[in-house]
Amino acid sequence: MNMIAEIDEKLVCYHCGDECPDESIAVEDKHFCCHGCQTVFEILQDNNLCAYYDLNDNAGVSLKAKNFEGKYSYLDEGDIVAQLLDYQSEELSKVTFYVPAVHCSSCVWLLENFNKIKKGVITSRLNFIKKELSLSYNPANVSLKEIVELLATLGYEPLLNLESTDKPQQKNTTQRSLILKIGVVGFCMGNIMMMSFPEYFHLDLKNSIDANYQKFFLYFNFILSLPVFFYGAYDYLTGAWISIKENFKKTTDVFSVDIPIAVAIITLYGRSVYETFVNNSAGYYDSLAGLVFFLLVGKWMQQITYNYLSFERNYKSYFPLAVKVIRENIESYMNVMELKKGDTIFIHHQELIPADAIISKGKGMIDYSFVTGESDPVSKNVGDVLYAGGRQKGERLELIVQKPVSQSYLTQLWNNEAFTKEKVMPTTELANLFSKYFTVITFTIATVAGIYWVFFEPSLFWNSITAVLMVACPCALTLSMPFTMSTTMAIFGRNKFYVKNQGVIQLLNEVNEIAFDKTGTLTESNSDGQRPARVSFVGSELSEFEQKLVKTLTMQSAHPLSKMIANSLNIKGGKALPIDYFQEFQGEGIEASIAGNLLRLGKSGFVRSAINKEVKHTHSFLEINGLLIGYFVIETVYRKNWQTMLTNLSKNFKLFILSGDNDADKEKLAPYFNENAVYFKQKPQDKLNFINQEQQKGNHILMIGDGLNDAGALRQSNVGIAISEDIKVFSPACDAILDASRFGQLADFLKFSKTSLNIVKASFALSLVYNFIGIGWAVTGKLSPVLAAIFMPLSSISVVLFAVGLTHLFARFRKL
Amino acid sequence: MSIIFFLAIAAIIVAGGFLIAFIWATKDGQYDDTYTPSVRMLFDNPVKSPESKIKKDE
């Protein structure tokens, strides 16, 4: 009973649903967890938009610890604004933002009513799946900076980075044209079937009523079949033609599956036209339209992907859009791509260094973990070189740029040829492999049947040949692949493993080696890209008072290690201890006199009494009143189940570690990896080269990584999987994104991809059975149009149902 | 029986009208975002802007 009462008493923020620390922040009877949330509520109340809270309880985005002061100053710069806008004129500007915080229907409602909150905004439209907000506004009344700041205040901070200036390409056009084709062919198919009704019911119009009626239906079907053949089937016909030409030129020996399809389509059409105009009897238009319709639907299935995920990101989506620059004594904000050697730039706490530069003022504490995989921040002083990609923690830095962004140490990786050529996706390779034999066998059967009838019943010669070619269409064959694969994709997606396209599932099959990154992949990281660490103390156990002393000491310092140690010491209550003296020695340690005790914490040289013992992990010695107490060890935390997963995988795959970090964890990893399969201190380029070497040996290698330092290896590998705590935030270009919480299931995913390929093969076999039955009828020369119209779609549908059903069944069986 | 010609042609014309509507919708981008409209239709009345509310109060 007590429990329930306690829960009821909890104060929950009216805006974001977080727990409120106290009752201090409130408007009327509504409580808020922070002033940010209260501000949003007041803005909404003033604008009569409180329906926001009626749609979903506590719909808001928490605004704790958010500070936008000066963050968007660069949006005052006309040039930078112009790069962001989609359209610009004196009265109207259009802009599209990516807003990662969008999560519920309230968000849609509020953002689409944005024009009610901000004067000057004309229209506001949100694409929920893509989280894209399209705004149009009058630049005379409102500036882009005001809009962005208000959005950020409301909790919908748009993501602005270097990539935002790349205008989105029109990729909707291919999808639209496919949908159009499906619609048009579907229309023709339905109407052809309607016009074929007399035929279906064996109404012998020709003899019983009037030949004119029959001709009317025939010609109508002919007209309706024109768009099917010339528009709907266009891609298959040209695809086949190109493949034939390439085969003649000997540039390839792959027989595209388009060829047997095109043969069937052309025979169906040719025979139908012949029947219509020469024999005045029904053609196979309905079979033709059905065939093309199913093929197009299969094609549409094939290109389905997760369009709210980005698989193509490069360093640009990690880099800031603009930076404050002094060039020739003029201070301004500039797009980082325009930086030149000699420019002075300013970097604040938590900001990213956009170009290789030298420190001219300030002390750097740079976190390179995302770029190099090194887990500890590096301290840098005036005159030191900083490489692009590091994140400053601490005070403001003044830097002098040494190289333009595109030529920096990090971004050079993207000049590698692995990034310039597209990965080959074997979407139809299996079907193509099949199609050569298929075509040859079909033609052989057709010829044999033809020769047979020449001798026994010459009138059936053409009938039997064309019937064989028509019925032996590998339609079911080409459909089973996209349907099985897209079902597999959906099952993977349900398990938070998002593959880029269907080809990736096939590539997963061929994998025989797996390379892991260590930092952030095997070890944990959180969605801010920071790595949580376990702090432990080695030495005599600390008393409560000593713990309190250390906590007081470490609270004084802004050094990341001090913060980690302070957080790890969990002492409650008590009076704060008086600090008589405190000093921080940069790069050495900290010293303080607290409540009459002299404490020193730092490196072994700094803490003089420290033994010269080699500790591989990051560590810090502690000395109280001249006596060495012990040392703190900061270890990275490995993911849950990482050991079982590696043991499972090592049965079937050769495993490697490619880490940018030092070899502190070597012993920990030793049981799961071969001695010569663990590589430390790997630069991004080294990783890429290693993958390339393995591929030269004929291996198919899967790379799993999380950071920019893995980008090259992910791209070069056969399958690159990016692991991510939050799939909506940055992950480098890859073939698949795996949610970190499902890391342990990797082996299951690999296994299931094999299963689904086997299902495809089984449905190939089934469709072959259908083909044999069909050909059995066809060789006798008695394939009537009605029989074809029933048999052909039926075989396709049953193969698709078989493939999809089996995939679901296996997924349930494997508990995926 | 000749009414069948008229019926068949009329049926095609009606269906053709829907086909044209479909082509129009596709080219207009209705199939680019198939999710948001399903959320959008649940919102009730258009929100009155604050100015009009003030006027009412007066």
Residues A61-77: tens digit of each pLDDT: 776 656 666 778 888 88
A517/A537 same-domain check: no
pLDDT number for residue A236? 92
Query: Helices (DSSP H) in A303-394: which residue ranges?
Result: 369-372
Residue A312 lies in a domain: no
pLDDT in tens, A99-111: 888 888 888 888 8
Is the pLDDT assigned to residue A682 strictly greater than 90? no
Host domain of residue A399: 320-415
pLDDT in tens, A207-220: 666 677 788 888 98
Q: Do B8 and A220 touch (CB under 8 A)?
A: yes
Q: Do B26 and A183 touch (CB under 8 A)?
A: yes
Count how many pairs of residues, chain A against chain B, have C-beta atoms within 8 Å: 77
pLDDT number for residue A288? 93
Residues A380/A366, Cβ–Cβ less than 8 Å: yes
The DSSP symbol for A380 reads E
Interface of A with B (CB under 8 A): 46-49, 51, 55, 105, 108-109, 112-113, 116, 126-130, 172, 175-176, 179-180, 183-184, 187, 190-191, 194-195, 209-210, 213, 216-217, 220
- Closest by Cβ to B26, choosing from A128, A176, A187: A176
Is the pLDDT assigned to residue A424 strictly greater than 70? no
Higher-confidence residue of A331 and A694: namely A694
Task: State the smallest CA–CA distance between residue B23 and chain A in angstroms.
Answer: 6
**Alpha-carbon span A52 to A727, nearest angstrom:** 26
Q: Do A105 and B11 touch (CB under 8 A)?
A: no
A549/A627 same-domain check: yes
A185/A331 same-domain check: no
Is the pLDDT assigned to residue B44 strictly greater than 90? no
Residue A338 banded pLDDT, cuts 50, 70, 90:
confident
- Residue listed under structure tokens 């086909």: B19
- Say if strands A344-347 and A397-401 run parallel, antiparallel, or are unpaired: antiparallel
Length reported for chain A:
816
Alpha-carbon distance values, A530 to A41, A558, A637 (Å): 31, 16, 12
**Alpha-carbon span A760 to A752, nearest angstrom:** 12
Task: State the smallest CA–CA distance between residue A24 and chain B in angstroms.
Answer: 29
Residues A321/A165, Cβ–Cβ less than 8 Å: yes
Residue A753 banded pLDDT, cuts 50, 70, 90:
very high
Is the pLDDT assigned to residue A313 strictly greater than 90? no
E strands within A540-637?
A: 579-585, 589-594, 597-602, 618-624, 627-636
Tokens of A314: 């490069």
Rounded mean pLDDT, A438-460: 88
Handedness of CA A719, A723, A728, A731 (dihedral sign): negative
Q: Return the minimum-mean-pLDDT range out of A51-60, A297-306, A490-499, A542-551.
A: A51-60
A520/A646 same-domain check: yes
Residue A157 lies in a domain: yes
In this structure, how many other beta carbons lie within 10 angstroms of the beta carbon of residue B19?
17
**Alpha-carbon span A802 to A799, nearest angstrom:** 5
**Alpha-carbon span A717 to A737, nearest angstrom:** 14
Residue A81 lies in a domain: yes
Is the pLDDT assigned to residue B51 strictly greater than 80? no
Query: Helices (DSSP H) in A459-519: which residue ranges?
Result: 461-471, 475-494, 502-510
A650/A727 same-domain check: yes
The DSSP symbol for A62 reads P
Return the top range by mean pLDDT from A4-8, A332-336, A377-381.
Answer: A332-336
The DSSP symbol for A625 reads T
Residue A540, domain CATH: 3.40.1110.10
Q: Of A717, A748, A779, which residue constitutes the final position of a domain?
A: A748
Alpha-carbon distance values, A383 to A345, A365, A368, A371 (Å): 15, 14, 18, 21
pLDDT in tens, A591-623: 888 888 888 888 877 877 766 666 677 788 888
pLDDT in tens, A775-812: 888 888 777 888 888 888 888 889 999 999 999 999 99
pLDDT number for residue A633? 84
Query: pTM of the full predicted structure?
Result: 0.80
**Alpha-carbon span A229 to A153, nearest angstrom:** 56
Is the pLDDT assigned to residue A7 strictly greater than 70? no
Q: Do A210 and B47 touch (CB under 8 A)?
A: no
A228/A153 same-domain check: no
pLDDT number for residue A67? 64
Question: Angle at the Cα of A278 (from A272 to A282), degrees rounded to 5?
Answer: 40
Q: Of A730, A748, A766, which residue constitutes the final position of a domain?
A: A748
Indicate the number of domains in chain A.
Answer: 6
pLDDT number for residue A4? 43
Residue A192 lies in a domain: yes
pLDDT number for residue A611? 67
A205/A217 same-domain check: yes
Rounded mean pLDDT, A229-252: 90
Can you tell me whether residue A78 is helix, strand or coil? helix
Residue A358 lies in a domain: yes
Q: Of A415, A445, A480, which residue constitutes the final position of a domain?
A: A415
User: What ipTM score was computed for the predicted complex, to two decimals?
Assistant: 0.82
Residue A426 banded pLDDT, cuts 50, 70, 90:
low
Residues A673/A664, Cβ–Cβ less than 8 Å: no
In the sheet that holds A397-401, the strands lie side by side as: A330-335, A322-327, A344-347, A397-401, A357-361, A385-386
Question: Angle at the Cα of A619 (from A617 to A623), degrees rounded to 5?
Answer: 155
Can you tell me whether residue A168 is helix, strand or coil? coil
pLDDT number for residue B56? 39
A515/A647 same-domain check: yes
Percentage of the residues of chain A whose pLDDT score is greater than 70: 91
pLDDT number for residue A6? 44
Q: Do A176 and B44 touch (CB under 8 A)?
A: no
Is the pLDDT assigned to residue A113 strictly greater than 80? yes
Tokens of A588: 């050495």
Residues A473/A260, Cβ–Cβ less than 8 Å: yes
- Closest by Cβ to A116, choosing from B12, B35, B49: B49
pLDDT number for residue A2? 45
Distance of CA A569 to the CA centre of its chain: 38
Q: Do A183 and B44 touch (CB under 8 A)?
A: no
- Closest by Cβ to A108, choosing from B1, B11, B36: B36
pLDDT number for residue A5? 41
A540/A628 same-domain check: yes
Beta bridge partners of A719: A702
Q: B25 touching A, CB under 8 A?
A: no
HEC-encoded secondary structure of A270-284: HHHHHHHHHHCCCCC
Residue A157 banded pLDDT, cuts 50, 70, 90:
confident
Q: Return the minimum-mean-pLDDT range out of A332-341, A438-447, A508-517, A574-583.
A: A574-583
**Alpha-carbon span A312 to A169, nearest angstrom:** 13
Q: Do A195 and B50 touch (CB under 8 A)?
A: no
Is the pLDDT assigned to residue A570 strictly greater than 80? no
Residue A47 phi/psi, 5° resolution? -100, 10
Task: For residue B42, list chain A residues with Cβ-Cβ distance below 8 A.
Answer: 55, 105
Task: State the smallest CA–CA distance between residue A228 and chain B in angstroms.
Answer: 14
Rounded mean pLDDT, A420-430: 65
Is the pLDDT assigned to residue A759 strictly greater than 90? yes
Q: Which residue of A has its CA nearest to B25?
A: A180
Residue A206 banded pLDDT, cuts 50, 70, 90:
low
Best mutation target among B6, B20, B27, B32 (most A Cβ atoms within 10 Å) is: B32
In this structure, how many other beta carbons lie within 10 angstroms of the beta carbon of residue A597?
16
Residue A160 phi/psi, 5° resolution? -120, 120
The DSSP symbol for A203 reads -
Residue A574 banded pLDDT, cuts 50, 70, 90:
low
pLDDT in tens, A177-205: 999 999 999 999 999 998 888 888 777 66
Handedness of CA A783, A784, A790, A793 (dihedral sign): positive
A100/A155 same-domain check: yes
Alpha-carbon distance values, A13 to A100, A108, A376 (Å): 22, 21, 36
pLDDT number for residue A184? 96
pLDDT number for residue B54? 43
Residues B45/A190, Cβ–Cβ less than 8 Å: no
Task: For residue B26, list chain A residues with Cβ-Cβ distance below 8 A.
Answer: 176, 179-180, 183
Rounded mean pLDDT, B3-19: 91
Q: Do B47 and A46 touch (CB under 8 A)?
A: no
pLDDT number for residue B46? 62
A199/A299 same-domain check: yes
Residue A324, domain CATH: 2.70.150.10
A346/A233 same-domain check: no
